[in-house]
Structure 1
């Protein structure tokens, strides 16, 4: 049995400028201890604006005159980003130069080896005082490598909270939650902080990743690495820290909010740079219910916390500023195999005692309970410290769900399932089968009102065009929806239209340069969607010749794909065309087309087989036998054939980004896998659309 991939990861604390010198050090580390798969910066990458020569060095970095030897992802510390860097990151989905991307805001990043990295930038600040983010969201065993450097001076803080005590009477250190006051008032710098909504968004993403991991491997949690700037409140000092008490750090800016994030995410590693000093705490384990793998080989889960010094500019003296490790992704835990191994010796109890009541990995069922404390004290009490059962106004309500969330009880957005207004009606139905559904209930099977999901009369038929309903009036792709994004429209035919992809995987570059990372030679980038005009949940029937209407749609889609293929060929590219269909009537299907260099056409099949093997899936020759089973299909440009991956009915763990992941892997840009991290401003979308329309005009048969 093949061993799962192991990623060699290098993590550093604050860099604080001197970028040429820093990346030269990284090059030496990479030669000596690498090669590293990825470099992570968990502090301030850039210097204070008063540093002499900083402007010139930033210019050199943006012009690619400073070599970045390893693919690098940097969160934003408390200082924020220089304005030029912020604007470049916003325009280029986080990328500021070759091999270097900024991770403002919060999110979950996955590397090509499957390492999941959760991150949240800045210091905590309440919503009323939070400064704007620096840019738009862009959207194993541990083996420490000795290194020397200098720590960074922490920024000035605000009021300190009183330190609570745990059950053993050991008092925790004082914590400081900054309220977002900028440490640099230069007009060229945007301060960085996060608030309760950012925490809620990150934990919702973590819960989603945990559920996907569980569906695939029965293993949770899924987060390998957590990056924050502030330390979590509670990690020091403890009786388990090792070494004399005098050698243990006294944290100045530890944060309850970071403790909550760490306790809920349960990462295998947690790195923070806010104190500017090095400290590696003994790992702590979670309860017996939290394990990696399944069956007799399941291993209890644990977390290592590492605080890192700064590469230079330290008032703390010489501090270790980097940490290297081999990471076997938790995501690859499979039946009978626990990754990355047994719990190390010396594991302690969970020091985040205020949040230690969480007895299992975070998922969407318990997410509302965790989010209820985000803007309170961070535990199960209200703002006044009282437990809900002791009287008062009761538990603080959870943050509202994201716009994409749809209640699985009533099929309506706007509330969590635990707050569903039809909950009592459906509960009564379990004892009275004659009770009809409420007027606003829409069956998830056929998208029609008037009956419960279990009584759906259309439950056996699938793959057809869904009938329009009120629920479909909000469909992103239906032209009948007045809110459809016209900004992305590139061409419209009789049966289908062509639109630019939201959060495109590739962007337009210089045609003479060919492909450079995710810079495509095709004007506008060329990542497009071919979408049926009538709401359609699957293109399968257009291929199997069901009705004249379906065959007509299939014929026009073929004409659009041929026209787009002809455009790509002018730039020595071929299309990677794929469709993901779960045969759900409320989901409008689309054929995505991403250009790849013609020289890489032969990589499509082996890359897909490798990705599928890692997920326990197989590449098939045709559609699934059951008409209601979903599928992923991609054209093999090297063999003029189609490759299929079957999605069994009711499957919840399938990666709906498989097509993007395939393209990102072939192009070597794993950070572009998720479309939300690639979204740009509408003005930039319009410019890319216009460039594509101009180049595509001679192939557009509908003009």
Structure 2
């Protein structure tokens, strides 16, 4: 049996900025004192400014007259390379001299010890420096008006990169993540990521006025998921506490699998910089992730003090990158970061100054409002909102009506100009705190099961049923389905009703609403297929109040197939007790609330109309119906069924494993 691979001892340094003979002499001393090191990595400018370059020193390096004691790989920072160095790179594929390779552009390399290093050289092509007057509370990264959405690669590839470079690197990593696997899910494989710019998110606590923090680098880090991320662009030392990802992102196999985590380290310059003397090197032992994913070694356990993913919106990626998820992951960059204005570097989606209702950045050029189908504004700022309000009031106010808000006649209170700003602010605040919006950094990731392009599947908080029924039977609230099976199918975009997904025309809003409806149906069919394997059918229902600040969901609860025919009689009994009646379709008014449940025995939709005054309507009537069918009335209210996060995670993992063969987004 082969012995486990040995860890590689790696030394990483920040910018060198010339003085190469002196620098490599320092490295020789460090290697003698703390080594021997397998490899040296330079995360910034190896050479100084071109107009200050020491011609004799450059020549001596190219002639191998300056000893390079360790195999060294250096990315390019923000300094243009000396002409003779650039020519040598082109001639020798990056090799400058013995033991020294310059990593221009982007790519993935693997050392002889199996350590995989992803890199992208330079600064993002059109990113402007952040304002020196920026304060820690400024959430949004400065927009890059100079870059069109589909900007080509910059001409000076040696010290700048663009979106094509990002796409190429992420595609390479996707292939690397799959290399060690046959018929199994890919795992993170990149041990070290080298960039010059720092990523937004990690920069907020360390350098509020950071010049080079870049959302594009945040995207790269979130997609690549390296074990270590080094950057030297700020010239200061900063080591952030490590962060973990979604629980599905693991390294290792079987019982030895462990949650994956990332460490970020910013490094100072080897020669004193504008920040004064800073720690400029970092040494560590690296056991390659690839060896752990192949089962050749045990993965490192997540250290104490791990935090949530600080990369905010990019945390939505939430899974290991592979070739199947690659198109969806690459699409995320078109709506985020530098020049697009969709993500804020300080955290919190679009809640920074100047966006929705004046509380965040404007939408990217690629964004189309899902309400009116026009670009240029978020759905929360849609100008058709006033028209929608008027639809609820059935025409102009009668003579003598006086608005109770401004005390003036001629308009309904809902249309009062004095209230528009306050209403927008209130709605934007409600949307920012929405439980189900993935743009909310506080969304409960512990319940997530699968994420598609338009909708996602999550376990229900306070699930009505749990797993563990023996022998494939259904006993009370003990379901035969692993994890219980009470799930929600949720639109990714904030949506207050699924009615429009059924009634929208193909050409409405570019087909976005119809695509959402189609994907929700596809997820529902996938869940139903899993239920069928255990002799169950779904009780699928939606309760929609058609309120802009309420995010609708399709709930699916498994019930025994033998009880399918009892759904309508049970609903009729509830209606009789509540003074309601079963209707044949949606309410006439588009903005009226409704409850709809699919009869699993006939396929018919059974509707209840929610009156305008919802105080007397039981908004948990769908759950009450399921509890009545299963004979567990004590579980009608979700708050009475909430369990610990550990139990939630256990149930979720069991369901994910059973649902995997039906998850079309994997």
Give the TM-score of the pair, scaled to structure 2: 0.48
Structure number having the greater helix percentage: 2
Which one has a bigger Cα radius of gyration? 2
Give the TM-score of the pair, scaled to structure 1: 0.46
Larger RCO (alpha carbons 8 Å, 6+ apart)? 1
